[in-house]
Structure formats: C-alpha cells, structure tokens
Structure 1
Amino acid sequence: MTEQTSPTAVSKEETTSLPSEQTKTPAEFFKDWSFEHWAYLHGKPKASAKFKTIPEDFVVTENLGFELTGSGENVFLLIEKTELNTHQVCEYLAKFFGRRLRDIGYAGLKDKQSISRQWFSIQMNITQNIDLTKLGTENIRLIEHSRHIKKLKIGALKSNHFDILLKDITDVIDTIGRLEQIKTQGVPNYFGLQRFGFKGNNLNWADRMSAGEDIKNRKIKGFALSASRSYIFNEVVNERLKQKLFDKALNGDVFILTGSNSYFSQDVDDKITQRLQENDIQVSAPLFGKGEFETKGQVLELETQVAGQHANWQKMLVDNGLKQERRSILLNPDNLTWLVKGNDLLVSFDLPTGCFATSILRECVDFIQEYS
C-alpha cells in the first residue's frame, strides 16, 4: 500500500489488467469512477507537487515486527525490488527455486512504481542447502536471508516505513504547516486509490459479480471483493467528515484498540474520552460482511444509510463468505519527519500494515504523478 490510494497515485499492483472473463458485458460495467468527492480533514491542499517522477522518489521498507528463528522449513528473503510488482517477484522466486507459486509467501502487495524492500518466504526442505549467490536481477537485489518455522502470510507485518520525495512544491510553507497538523491530528484512514484499480476498474468487476456474472479468475474476484468493501468503508468515513462527526466520539460508536483488531462498544464517558485523547482507542467504521452492525443510534443510522446505497455489493460480500469487521477511521503516522530541499520535501513516516501512504500525502499536496 501499500497502500494503496489520490493526479492520482494508481498502483499497477491492484489493477485488473487481466483478460476479460467474457466478450460482451453491459456498457455501465465499464465506467470511469471518480473519487474526488471524498472529504479532507485539513481542507483541500493549496499546493501541488510532482510525485513518483522516478522509482527513487518512493521508497518503502517492510518491518516484520518479529524475530526469525534461524531454522525451519521456510527461507525468508528481504528483497529490494525496483519497477516490479509483488507477483512478478513471486514468479521469479518460484522459477529460481523450482517451487510452486503457492510455496512463496509475502505479507502484502507493494507498489510497482517504487523501490520496495520486501520480505518473501519460500517453503524448502530443512536439510536442503541453498545457493543464493546467483539470486537477483537488474531489478531484484537480495539484502538478507534467514530461515523461519512459519510461512510468511498476508498481513504479518508490524509496519511499513516510507521515504517519499515530493518535487517542485508550489507552496512549501503551506505543505509544512499541513504536515505539522497531520503529526498531531492524523488523517482519515481512507483506503488508497490503488485499491480500486485504474479508473476504478476493480469496482466495475464488483458490479459485474454482484449482477450475477460468474467470474472464475480468483485474482479478479479478490480485487472486486476487496475494492467494494473498501469503497463502502471510505464512503462511511467521508460521510462522518461531511457531517462534522469525524473527530468526536458518539454514543453508539464502536471503538477499536489501537494497533489491534479488537473492538468494543460503550457509551462515551470521561474514561473513553481520555483513552481517545491518548490514542489508546480509536473510532471505527465497518468493513462489511456477514453479521449485524454493532453500532447504535445516530452512528448506526449513518452506517446503514451509506451501506444501503450498495446493497448489491453487500449481498455479494456476504455470499462470498466475508465477515463483518471494523477499521479505525483515523490514521496517525508514526515517526513523521520532513526535510526541506529547496522546493522539494523528503517526507518520512511509518504506517501500520494495511494503511496507505497516499492517504497521508493527499492531505499535504495536490500531487501529480509523472512516472508510469
């Protein structure tokens, strides 16, 4: 996410440039989606900047958050990839080691238009000696390796560290002021635009699925389910911003423990207010699936109204086995710093897994992506 998310940073990682499942579909399933209506916490930025003019402008490094055992049937590799998406690296590793694709593990998708330092695991016999001297290409560099007892699974990261260079900023002072606000107040935890594919095409697939089309390609199905679920979440966050309910807790809210997937409901009192101020807990919004909304009152009414506008997607998500979950509506970057280089800014921060760097950047500048 990487995030995702936002001119617009559209990742090649989550686009669906795959063969069409059928030759004829209704024209409404090929529309271009607009995401410009999603509200800002700090107001629409005044400044513009160039973004990702070269891969070196966007550097992301994964932080596993756990120690490798040094032994076991999985070889862990920290690989620096340039101008490749995650699946392309998986295919290379499968071929290099003579393994099946399903033997390759990774924790998350990383943007092709970047330099990404990403962990992969390869299931190997414990007694098998491996020669890594020839591992690598012009776009793949091995940084370190070790063994571990478990395969690397999706989401098994503590965080991602980003170093992002914004170039030719038209108002550096305004951008710095916004970064100072973000450091203390955070940003909306929107899913980034790369989640929805090029011009929102993953949502077109969601429409086709929910209309009854039998899509057999598992990758396309995954994109469609993830995109539709994420879109509903973003719509709820947007509605709270529009109604000026974003930065306050309401009776009926469901709170999520910061840094975890655990959540609970409780009326707002002094203790809840203090925990929110200390960032021990955060207000949440739904990731739709099977089950009832756990919110109440005004919050339940808002969430039900927004989700009800996408009843076809709701049914699709339930039919495909997704369960109701919650996600924080606020994103607080850790270790946010910036360095001024003339009219450029090098912005660095850490984000929890599943969160999008472009959700931070969209609150700073109106950025123009030139690299493709």
Structure 2
Amino acid sequence: MIPPRPYLTASLPGIGGTIKESCDDFLVEEIPAYQPCGSGDHAYLIVEKRGITTLEAIRRIARHLNVAERAIGYAGMKDAAGVTRQTISVEHVKPEAAEGVELDGLKIVSATRHTNKLKLGHLKGNRFRIVVRDIAPHAGEVVPAVLEILQQRGVPNYFGYQRYGSQGNSHLIGAAMLRHDWQGATDRLMGEPEAVRDEQWRAGIEAYQRGDLAGALELFPRHCRSEREVLQRLAARPDGFERAFAVIHPRLKKLYLSALQSWLFDQVVEHRIQQIDALLPGDLAWKHVNGACFLVEDADTEAERTRTFEISATGPIFGCKMKQPAGKPLEIEQQILDNEQIRPADFDMGGGLRMEGERRPLRIPLEAPSFRIEGDRLELEFSLVKGSYATALLREITKNF
C-alpha cells in the first residue's frame, strides 16, 4: 500500500467524506482547445458516457457506426467512474448519422464537421463537479480556507494512486523491467494476496508464491489475461521469466514504465511540497502560457512571475532524453534515481519501449472554484488544466488519501 503523500494544506484538518457513491456524484466535462469549424471529413461528436471508459465508449460507437476504431480520435482518456462529456472525432461519418444516438452507457449529444482528427492533448483542461458526502461539521470553515491556499500557491501536481493500477503496484513492475529483473517484474505482476478482495484470485496469488504454477493458472480469474498468459509460459518453462514476461502486450509494458515515471515525479513533488510556489537556482521553469521551459539562473529575479503564476518549477518525467536541471534541483532528482538504482539511459529499453521523458510543472492553477454545502454534503466545482487530476485537489480537502 502506498502511504499518503504530504499535503500542501497540512495545517488545516480534512473534512473526510466519501466520493463516487453514484455516477452522478462525479461529473467531468472536457474544455476543448478549439471548436469544430462546420466543414471537413471528420465528425466531432460530444459524447456523454456513464460508468464506462473512453476506450469502451469508442468500441461501442465504432461498432454502431460500422467504422474501424482507428478512424476515431480523442483528446483525453477518461476512466469509468462517474459521468463524463468529451469530444471524439470519427472520419467519413455524416453528423446526422451519429447525433442523438444512444447506446448502453453513452449517448451522442451533438455532432459537427471539422477538418482534422482529434489527437491526444487537443484540449485545454477539464471542468469538474464533484459531490462529497458524509463530510465533517467543520467543512464550512475548512473548504474555503483550503481553496484560498490552493488558488494562491497552486495545486500540487501529484499523479496519485490512480496511476499505479488496481493493486497499487504498476510502478514496481516498471522499476523491475528497467533493472531487467524479469522474475521481480513477474512477481509484481502477479501481485500480493492482501491487495485483492476476490477469494479465488487471492488463492491464485498464494499458489503462485508457493511455486504451484498449475494451481495458480486454474485459480486466476479469466479477466487477468496477462497474468494467465505469463503463467502458461512459466508452466512450460518455470525458469524462463524473461521469455514469459515477453508475452505481455507492449502497450501494457509502456503503462508500467509510465507508472514508474509518475511515481518518481510524485517523489519530487513530495520533496518540494512546502516550497512548491518557489523557484530554486538551476530549476527548469515552466511557462504556463505555452508549456515552454527555461533554466533559472537567478530565482529572485523570477519571483514576481512565480507569484503571479506565470511560471512554476518543474519536475522530471524521467526518460533517456529528458532535459535536466542544475544545482539543487538536479541533486534532488539524481538522489531519487539513485535510490531506485535507475539511470536515465535505462529508459531506452529497445523493442519499442523507449521513454524519452519530459518536464512537468510541480503545481497547477486552480481555476474558477466554487462550492456549496448542504448538511453533510459538499458540492464542489472547479477547472484544471489538461494532464492533471481532480484527486490532487480533493485529497487536500478531505485528507482521506
């Protein structure tokens, strides 16, 4: 279990509460980077989905419209929890053939022509409306105080637990991969018994840990497709961990490496949480207007731009080509890599598994927050830039995770 990261608002108590008791308690709406122009070969569909992922929504729409999934573009991934409104693009489909379509778990709200396919990142951010239930009586004093601090200093740009998989161990698989520790990667893939609730699944993990590969294969649930494929190869050759792990789809392997990058970045945010709105000499500063970075030589000179949220310090999405800072920021980042026994060059694993890396701001602006409290129920609205997570804000208010 990953311990909670420190809070920027640690001086204020949490309000507790529960989130996502129903789909309607968690609403997300994409803020588009641009509007469709009304002409072109692509239909831009605003899709409202409930309880299904973006990829599942795309599968259902592709099947209904009789198009290949690769002909559909999207700007951002949304998970299954809650109600989300997002835009997807479909090539060579008439808008009138899609508008108003309702399928299991989704409906197409509108359809307009445009000239290009949507690609990942083609959005400004997301607008959230979230309900927190069973909150503490002191919420009326705490919520506005937390929001004021976050508006002034920024929201810590943690990735958080949602990046580490259902068992919270995806980053550990990625770390073992970088070390070429294939048995370690396989052990982490199979997981720990206490991390799952299903009794049969738990028994399957325990069988694997005892070395009973045939028993584990029989017990692992059918939806654990990767685990079962690895077990099948191991059963044929128990010492062939590298060969067995190779059966995992490259897309999943990249997810494990991405989870590791997120884990390492979150450690940098944790290390600098109390000075998250300050720059150090040697920082690579992020320009919020366009995402460009520059090396900070004199932090005092840049203090006003930092205060007005024009720029912020960045942290590493480690990779084999990531630009490095200097001075104290470099020392912090290098120490984190050393602790994990990883070098930047390790992120170029070959075979399509090359993670080049990039920089990411340590904080993000909180835009247009508002809230309403009725009894033990908080309704919270706010916007965040793309690539950031609502949990980064919610955890500061609830102190639950």
TM-score normalised to structure 1 length: 0.83
- What do the CA deviations read for 1:312-361 (whole angstroms, capped 9, x no partner)? 48455233322231111012211011112122111111111100000000
Is the 8 Å Cα contact of residues 96 and 135 (structure 1) preserved in structure 2?
Answer: no
The equivalent residue for 2:121 is: 155
The equivalent residue for 2:377 is: 344
Is the 8 Å Cα contact of residues 64 and 157 (structure 1) preserved in structure 2?
Answer: yes
Of 103, 107, 110, which aligns to 1:144?
A: 110
The equivalent residue for 1:120 is: 88
1:333 lines up with 2:337 in the alignment: no
Would the alpha carbon gap of residues 182 and 266 (structure 1) be closer, same or farther in structure 2, given more than 3 Å must change? Answer: closer
The equivalent residue for 1:53 is: 21
**Shift of residue 195 of structure 1?**
1.4
The equivalent residue for 2:75 is: 107
**Shift of residue 293 of structure 1?**
4.7
Is the 8 Å Cα contact of residues 73 and 149 (structure 1) preserved in structure 2?
Answer: yes
CA-based RMSD: 2.1
**Shift of residue 260 of structure 1?**
2.7
**Shift of residue 294 of structure 1?**
2.6
Would the alpha carbon gap of residues 271 and 304 (structure 1) be closer, same or farther in structure 2, given more than 3 Å must change? Answer: same
Query: Which residue identity lines up with residue 222 of structure 1 in the other structure?
Result: K
Would the alpha carbon gap of residues 182 and 94 (structure 1) be closer, same or farther in structure 2, given more than 3 Å must change? Answer: same
- What do the CA deviations read for 1:146-184 (whole angstroms, capped 9, x no partner)? 111111111110110000111111131223322222222
Is the 8 Å Cα contact of residues 171 and 256 (structure 2) preserved in structure 1?
Answer: yes
Is the 8 Å Cα contact of residues 261 and 326 (structure 1) preserved in structure 2?
Answer: no
Counterparts of 1:35 and 1:293, CA distance in 2: 29
- What do the CA deviations read for 1:78-131 (whole angstroms, capped 9, x no partner)? 011001111110110111121222111111111211000011111216xx6752
The equivalent residue for 2:158 is: 190
The equivalent residue for 1:248 is: 278
Is the 8 Å Cα contact of residues 14 and 396 (structure 2) preserved in structure 1?
Answer: no
Of 286, 297, 302, which aligns to 1:272?
A: 302
1:168 lines up with 2:124 in the alignment: no
Counterparts of 1:134 and 1:313, CA distance in 2: 52
- What do the CA deviations read for 1:52-94 (whole angstroms, capped 9, x no partner)? 1101110000011212121222111001100111111011011
Secondary structure of the structure 2 residue equivalent to 1:295: coil
Query: Which residue identity lines up with residue 311 of structure 2 in the other structure?
Result: I
The equivalent residue for 2:337 is: 307
Secondary structure of the structure 2 residue equivalent to 1:198: coil
**Shift of residue 208 of structure 1?**
4.8
The equivalent residue for 1:229 is: 261
Is the 8 Å Cα contact of residues 73 and 90 (structure 2) preserved in structure 1?
Answer: yes
- What do the CA deviations read for 1:236-257 (whole angstroms, capped 9, x no partner)? 111123xx44332111111010
Would the alpha carbon gap of residues 215 and 234 (structure 1) be closer, same or farther in structure 2, given more than 3 Å must change? Answer: farther
Aligned-residue sequence identity (percent) comes to 28
1:217 lines up with 2:184 in the alignment: no
Of 24, 36, 40, which aligns to 2:7?
A: 40
The equivalent residue for 2:271 is: 239
Of 311, 314, 331, which aligns to 1:281?
A: 311
Would the alpha carbon gap of residues 263 and 129 (structure 1) be closer, same or farther in structure 2, given more than 3 Å must change? Answer: closer
Query: Which residue identity lines up with residue 41 of structure 1 in the other structure?
Result: L
Would the alpha carbon gap of residues 263 and 152 (structure 1) be closer, same or farther in structure 2, given more than 3 Å must change? Answer: same
Of 292, 314, 318, which aligns to 1:262?
A: 292
Higher relative contact order (CA 8 A, sep 6+): 1
Would the alpha carbon gap of residues 313 and 356 (structure 1) be closer, same or farther in structure 2, given more than 3 Å must change? Answer: farther
Is the 8 Å Cα contact of residues 175 and 365 (structure 1) preserved in structure 2?
Answer: no
Query: Which residue identity lines up with residue 220 of structure 1 in the other structure?
Result: L
Is the 8 Å Cα contact of residues 312 and 362 (structure 2) preserved in structure 1?
Answer: yes
Query: Which residue identity lines up with residue 43 of structure 2 in the other structure?
Result: V
Counterparts of 2:16 and 2:95, CA distance in 1: 52
- The size of the alignment, in residue pairs, is 331
The equivalent residue for 1:296 is: 326
1:85 lines up with 2:53 in the alignment: yes
- What do the CA deviations read for 1:22-55 (whole angstroms, capped 9, x no partner)? xxxxxxxxxxx4142x211111743211111101
Secondary structure of the structure 2 residue equivalent to 1:158: strand
Counterparts of 2:345 and 2:246, CA distance in 1: 15
Would the alpha carbon gap of residues 326 and 199 (structure 1) be closer, same or farther in structure 2, given more than 3 Å must change? Answer: same
Is the 8 Å Cα contact of residues 45 and 363 (structure 1) preserved in structure 2?
Answer: no
Gaps (5+ residues) in structure 2?
A: 183-244
1:67-82 → structure 2 map (5 Å cutoff): 67-82=35-50
Is the 8 Å Cα contact of residues 277 and 306 (structure 2) preserved in structure 1?
Answer: no
The equivalent residue for 1:7 is: none
Would the alpha carbon gap of residues 55 and 104 (structure 1) be closer, same or farther in structure 2, given more than 3 Å must change? Answer: same
- Deviates further, 111-120 or 258-267: 258-267
The equivalent residue for 2:222 is: none
Query: Which residue identity lines up with residue 286 of structure 2 in the other structure?
Result: I
The equivalent residue for 1:4 is: none
